[in-house]
């Protein structure tokens, strides 16, 4: 208990030793609001506010008239002075009314004087404050025992006749030694100290000057004998009392009195332990019967708890949560950790943040011995500091990814901790630099503790970015907070990383068209630019291949032009007048091997595979299709294996032969004659080739017909054929104001507010088509809380073309009639639902709601499966889906606020 205070007093002494010889001195004898003094029982308490101590070093002197004595640690313990100070300079100084330099009037009125000298850091200036305080105190018990921070004090009323008088000869010898009493009381007294015997328990006899030289205090006042001992001296010893360690001093004092020489036995016993900490409560246990002080039965007359030397009444104790109770063997004081009467302090051993809590309880007892009827007042001032507690500040990540900014709270930290810097992935930024960039805010509570709010945009360079999934960007903010504990300037740090992810990646897209002989392909970059590789067919698109296909590029896309006969084009099938060719384009991310977009475009290109001439000659093209990958065109033959192509390459084989050769057969059909032959592989030469390839070619001729033969050396122009049309289907979902479907909400109207169970009228329409054979069918519609169509939770609205029978508010389909706006009724579907909200844990979620629909565009003449028509049956029973229709997706977004929805339209997209 005393070591901490010795350090403080040593600091004060060091100031004096290192001070300058010449100082600019200023003496202030006026009252100062930052210095407060009061009388607390047998002590005078003086409080210095930290305002005086900040930036200064303190020196204290005891004064008595014109005499000034520097209070060194040893001298303070010897003379009844103690000090308690926190690390920020808040200081309390206690002076015993029985102190050496106290002006004592009949042990009732006491005049205390102290001088404070404040040195600046450079010792160039010193400010002096003189403080005096008068205290009156007469409630002395027969015996008073004080356990202060750095000393034990015991005093006894000399009017008590509980000691044994000695012989006149011994008294005379004692009187001869009174001249050695260097610490006589300042008042004239009839008493004097001769010598003292300390028991440890072996006796050690010292004359009065030896007692003082050993650091003990001994003196008489007008009515009392006072002995004072620092802790941990050679003449004190430890004793366990009811499990509590106590330090004990026992001394027999020889004093002279008008009646002769007397011996007065004095004992002080002070606790040095007995503290336990559990469940954030400090428990201080003091023996109920301190056996070194009592020999028989005693009765406790008074029992008081105090803080900082000041008694507390019951109301004050209750308000602070303090308790003072007794058990069979102990008196127990309980104090909650964090009580405002104490203080927390930060520490950083091994660069880790720790806290301690310090509080200074007081116990004061008054008991009487039942045999002697003498009373004893026992007072203990006992500062308690908890062990180091490893403290983890709370980290609260309030980042909302869609806002695009990290938002991290860090705290709570004590007021003696300062944030110095933050280390990001790009380097270290000081506290001020973080504030200048708008990253950091410091906010404080009323008690001085603080926390920090860090806000960093996802787009800043200090944020690391990666893609854990093709459509997701992961954002990571690694941080190291650098702190400093004041005033010790001890560093420590915390390292953490916060992360967030967004579905904010726009993938690259591919679209294309065809004409009579060419594919036109455009690849549009996504949100991450050209971060992908491109496969054309089965080959990687290299700069060399791009130049072959006329690649053009700008900052947003690149384009290619490929003839359908290119090696990177696959032939799916062919007939007598056309070939179906397909171009495959794959966009992929090479690091993670992700497929970003897989695009295929199939078109029919005009190609006359068989030509019949009036002179009896046939020509036939055979095409290598992907279903026969091992086919080698130059190995094809007609029925007669000797009839081979007169031209071939990697994709085509061209045959020209007379109808009367190469195994060509002929058959008569009425007035027509059919010539037929087969193009195939010689499987005897390649027996393992699979599957079998066979291409039949034929020509019809009229048996009885007259033809005029005209010769022309120019190549024949291909006979015109119908072209297959390629385009995009456009579907729009809208919300009507009412069931008339005459007026619709516009973009500026969203979000539209709707109360729960109000109807919502939807219309889904196929645009820019007048083909009456096409019909729009709503396949599935559902609602989600997120924009992603596959997100959860979700609720079905239309299932397999019919209303969701699990919904209490069943979807209603509305008939469509032709009017000036609806030209083709089969291109439009209308339905209504009642407004609802998602519920989680019995709480209505107040958020946006998205509605999605999958629609199928059908050929109304092929009425099977989903294309058999929109469900109108209340049973909701539908035939299995088997139709081949063009599927499109549409979506709408609702916002849910309180008891309302808001609705916003999103353009439809084609799948």
Q: Which of 652-656, 674-678, 874-878 has the lowest mean pLDDT?
A: 874-878
3-state secondary structure of 825: helix
Give residue 15's pLDDT.
Answer: 32
Residues 415 and 487: their CA atoms lie apart, in Å, by: 11
β strands within 184-329, DSSP E = 192-199, 203-207, 217-220, 224-230, 237-241, 244-257, 260-271, 275-278, 281-287, 298-307, 310-311, 323-326
Q: How confident is the model at residue 891 (pLDDT cuts 50, 70, 90)?
A: low
Nearest alpha-carbon partner for 226 in 203, 193, 256, 182: 193
Phi, psi of 190 (to 5 degrees): -90, 5
Q: How confident is the model at residue 600 (pLDDT cuts 50, 70, 90)?
A: very high
Q: What pLDDT, in 10s, does the model give residues 356-395?
A: 999 999 999 999 988 777 899 999 999 999 999 999 999 9
Q: Strands of 557-563's sheet, edge to edge? A: 509-514, 518-524, 557-563, 552-553
Q: What pLDDT, in 10s, does the model give residues 726-767?
A: 566 788 888 889 998 888 888 777 777 777 788 889 999 998
CB count in 10 Å sphere of residue 220: 25
Nearest alpha-carbon partner for 53 in 92, 14, 96: 92
Give residue 584's pLDDT.
Answer: 96
Q: Which of 113-122, 589-598, 625-634 has the lowest mean pLDDT?
A: 113-122
CA dist 904 → 473, 778, 787, 789 (Å):
26, 20, 12, 16
Q: How confident is the model at residue 518 (pLDDT cuts 50, 70, 90)?
A: very high
The residue that leads in pLDDT, 699 or 181, is: 699
Instruction: Indicate if the pLDDT at residue 768 is higher than 50.
Output: yes
Radius of gyration for the chain, computed over Cα atoms and rounded to the nearest angstrom: 52
Yes or no: say if 363 and 286 are a contact pair by the CB < 8 Å rule: yes
Q: Which of 503-507, 519-523, 669-673 has the lowest mean pLDDT?
A: 669-673
Torsion sign (Cα): 217, 221, 226, 228: negative
Give residue 829's pLDDT.
Answer: 94
CB count in 10 Å sphere of residue 507: 18
Structure tokens at 164: 């044994």
Give residue 376's pLDDT.
Answer: 96
Q: What pLDDT, in 10s, does the model give residues 701-716?
A: 888 765 555 555 655 5
Q: Give the mean pLDDT of 175-191.
A: 39
Give residue 69's pLDDT.
Answer: 92
Q: Give the mean pLDDT of 343-357.
A: 95
Instruction: Indicate if the pLDDT at residue 2 is higher than 80.
Output: no
Give residue 201's pLDDT.
Answer: 86
Instruction: Indicate if the pLDDT at residue 12 is higher than 50.
Output: no
Q: Output the 3-class SS for 768-792.
A: CCCCCCEEEEEEEEEEECCCCCCCC
State which H helix or E strand residue 552 sits in: strand 552-553
Nearest alpha-carbon partner for 450 in 421, 477, 416, 489: 416
Give residue 880's pLDDT.
Answer: 34
Yes or no: say if 476 and 464 are a contact pair by the CB < 8 Å rule: yes
Nearest alpha-carbon partner for 416 in 337, 495, 489: 489
Instruction: Indicate if the pLDDT at residue 351 is higher than 60.
Output: yes
Beta strand pairing call for 310-311 and 323-326: unpaired
For 776, residues 6+ apart whose C-beta sits below 8 A from its C-beta are 731, 764, 765, 766, 826, 827, 828, 829, 855, 856, 857, 858
Q: Give the mean pLDDT of 315-341.
A: 95
Q: What pLDDT, in 10s, does the model give residues 399-458?
A: 999 999 999 999 899 999 999 999 999 999 999 999 999 999 999 998 889 999 999 999
Nearest alpha-carbon partner for 698 in 729, 675, 728, 670: 675
Q: How confident is the model at residue 10 (pLDDT cuts 50, 70, 90)?
A: very low
Beta strand pairing call for 143-147 and 375-381: parallel
Q: Give the mean pLDDT of 481-496.
A: 95
Q: Give the mean pLDDT of 560-578.
A: 92
Q: How confident is the model at residue 535 (pLDDT cuts 50, 70, 90)?
A: very high
Give residue 256's pLDDT.
Answer: 86
Q: Which of 39-48, 216-225, 786-795 has the lowest mean pLDDT?
A: 786-795
Structure tokens at 619: 């020509």
Q: How confident is the model at residue 79 (pLDDT cuts 50, 70, 90)?
A: very high
Instruction: Indicate if the pLDDT at residue 7 is higher than 50.
Output: no
For 892, residues 6+ apart whose C-beta sits below 8 A from its C-beta are 733, 735, 762, 850, 851, 852, 903, 904, 905, 906
What letter does residue 211 receive in the DSSP assignment? Answer: H
3-state secondary structure of 74: helix
Q: How confident is the model at residue 259 (pLDDT cuts 50, 70, 90)?
A: confident
The residue that leads in pLDDT, 1 or 145, is: 145
Yes or no: say if 93 and 60 are a contact pair by the CB < 8 Å rule: yes
Residues 320 and 894: their CA atoms lie apart, in Å, by: 53
Give residue 728's pLDDT.
Answer: 65
Q: How confident is the model at residue 719 (pLDDT cuts 50, 70, 90)?
A: low
Nearest alpha-carbon partner for 604 in 729, 722, 773, 717: 722
Give residue 371's pLDDT.
Answer: 78
Give residue 143's pLDDT.
Answer: 96
For 39, residues 6+ apart whose C-beta sits below 8 A from its C-beta are 45, 133, 135, 136, 137
The residue that leads in pLDDT, 433 or 669, is: 433
Q: Which of 38-47, 417-426, 469-478, 761-770 has the lowest mean pLDDT?
A: 761-770
Instruction: Indicate if the pLDDT at residue 172 is higher than 50.
Output: no
Give residue 475's pLDDT.
Answer: 97
pLDDT averaged over the chain?
84
Nearest alpha-carbon partner for 886 in 774, 734, 762, 763: 774
Instruction: Indicate if the pLDDT at residue 718 is higher than 90.
Output: no
Specify the pTM.
0.60
Instruction: Indicate if the pLDDT at residue 268 is higher than 60.
Output: yes
Beta strand pairing call for 125-136 and 24-28: parallel
């Amino acid at each position: 208990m005393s070591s901490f205070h010795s350090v403080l007093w040593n600091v004060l002494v060091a100031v004096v030793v290192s001070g300058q010889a010449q100082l600019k001195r200023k003496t202030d004898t006026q009252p100062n609001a930052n210095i407060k003094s009061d009388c607390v029982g047998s002590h005078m308490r003086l409080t210095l506010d930290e305002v005086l101590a900040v930036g200064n070093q303190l020196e204290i002197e005891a004064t008595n008239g014109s005499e000034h004595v520097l209070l060194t640690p040893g001298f303070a313990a010897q003379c009844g002075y103690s000090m308690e100070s926190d690390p920020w300079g808040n200081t309390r100084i206690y002076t015993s009314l029985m102190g050496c330099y106290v002006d004592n009037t009949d042990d009732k009125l006491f005049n205390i004087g102290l001088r404070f000298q404040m040195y600046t850091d450079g010792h160039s200036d010193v400010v002096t404050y003189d403080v005096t305080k008068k205290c009156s105190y007469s409630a002395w018990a027969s015996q008073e025992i004080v356990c202060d921070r750095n000393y034990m004090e015991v005093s006894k009323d000399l009017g008590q006749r509980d000691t044994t008088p000695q012989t006149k000869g011994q008294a005379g010898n004692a009187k001869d030694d009174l001249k050695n009493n260097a610490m006589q009381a300042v008042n004239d007294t009839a008493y004097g100290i001769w010598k003292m015997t300390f028991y440890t328990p072996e006796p050690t006899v010292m004359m009065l000057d030896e007692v003082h030289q050993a650091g003990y205090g001994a003196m008489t006042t007008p009515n009392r004998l006072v002995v004072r001992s620092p802790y941990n001296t050679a003449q004190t010893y430890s004793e366990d009392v009811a499990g509590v360690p106590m330090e004990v001093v026992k001394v027999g004092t020889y004093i002279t009195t008008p009646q002769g020489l007397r011996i007065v036995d004095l004992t002080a016993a002070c606790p040095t332990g007995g503290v336990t900490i559990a469940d954030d409560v400090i428990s201080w246990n003091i023996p109920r019967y301190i056996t070194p002080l009592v020999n028989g039965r005693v009765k406790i007359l008074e029992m008081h708890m105090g803080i900082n030397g000041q008694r507390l009444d019951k109301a004050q104790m209750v308000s602070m949560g303090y308790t003072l109770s007794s058990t069979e063997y102990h008196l127990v004081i309980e104090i909650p950790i964090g009580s405002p009467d104490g203080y927390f302090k930060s520490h950083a051993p091994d660069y880790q943040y720790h806290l301690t809590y310090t509080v200074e309880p007081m116990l004061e007892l008054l008991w009487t011995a039942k045999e002697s009827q003498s009373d004893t007042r026992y007072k203990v001032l006992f500062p308690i500091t908890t062990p180091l507690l490893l403290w983890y500040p709370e980290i609260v990540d309030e980042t909302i990814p869609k806002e695009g900014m990290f938002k991290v709270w860090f705290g709570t930290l004590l007021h003696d901790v300062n944030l110095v810097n933050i280390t990001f992935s790009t380097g270290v930024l000081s506290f001020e630099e973080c504030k200048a960039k708008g990253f950091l805010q410091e906010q404080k509570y009323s008690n001085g503790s603080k926390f920090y709010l860090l806000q960093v945009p996802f787009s800043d360079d200090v944020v690391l970015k990666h893609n854990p999934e093709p459509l997701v960007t992961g954002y990571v903010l690694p941080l190291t907070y650098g702190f400093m504990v004041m005033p010790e300037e001890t560093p420590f740090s915390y390292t953490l990383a916060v992360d967030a992810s967004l579905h904010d990646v726009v993938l690259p897209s591919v679209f294309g068209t065809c004409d009579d002989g060419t594919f036109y392909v455009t690849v549009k970059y996504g949100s991450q630019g050209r971060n992908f590789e491109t496969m054309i067919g089965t080959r990687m698109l290299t700069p060399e291949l791009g130049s072959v296909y006329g690649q053009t590029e700008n900052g947003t896309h690149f384009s290619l032009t490929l003839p359908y006969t290119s090696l990177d084009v696959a032939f799916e099938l062919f007939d007598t007048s056309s070939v179906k060719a397909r171009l495959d384009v794959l966009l992929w991310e090479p690091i993670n091997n992700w497929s970003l977009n897989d695009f295929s475009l199939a078109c029919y290109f005009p190609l006359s595979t068989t030509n019949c001439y009036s002179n009896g000659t046939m020509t036939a093209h055979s095409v290598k299709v992907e279903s026969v990958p091992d086919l080698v065109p130059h190995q094809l033959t007609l029925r007669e294996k000797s009839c081979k192509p007169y031209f071939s390459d990697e994709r085509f084989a061209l045959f020209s032969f007379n109808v009367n050769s190469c195994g060509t057969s002929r058959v008569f059909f009425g007035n027509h004659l059919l010539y037929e032959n087969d193009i195939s592989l010689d499987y005897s030469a390649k027996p393992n080739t699979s599957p079998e390839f066979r291409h039949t070619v034929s020509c019809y001729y009229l048996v009885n017909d007259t033809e005029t033969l005209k010769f022309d050396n120019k190549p024949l122009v291909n006979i015109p054929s119908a072209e297959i049309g390629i385009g995009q289907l456009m579907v729009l979902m809208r919300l009507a104001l009412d069931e008339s479907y005459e007026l619709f909400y516009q973009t500026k109207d969203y979000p539209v507010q709707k109360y729960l169970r109000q109807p919502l009228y939807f219309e889904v329409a196929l645009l820019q088509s007048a083909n009456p054979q096409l019909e729009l069918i709503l396949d599935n519609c559902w609602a989600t809380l997120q924009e992603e169509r596959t997100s959860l939770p979700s609720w079905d609205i239309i299932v397999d073309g019919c209303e969701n029978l699990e919904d209490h508010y069943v979807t209603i389909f509305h008939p469509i009639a032709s009017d000036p706006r609806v030209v083709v009724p089969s291109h439009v579907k209308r339905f209504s639902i009642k407004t609802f909200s998602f519920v989680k844990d019995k709480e209505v979620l107040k958020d946006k709601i998205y509605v999605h629909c999958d629609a199928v565009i059908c050929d109304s003449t092929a009425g099977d499966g989903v294309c058999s028509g929109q469900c109108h049956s209340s049973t909701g029973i539908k035939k299995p889906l088997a139709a081949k229709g063009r599927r499109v997706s549409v979506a709408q977004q609702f916002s849910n606020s309180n008891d309302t929805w808001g609705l916003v339209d999103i353009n439809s997209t084609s799948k």
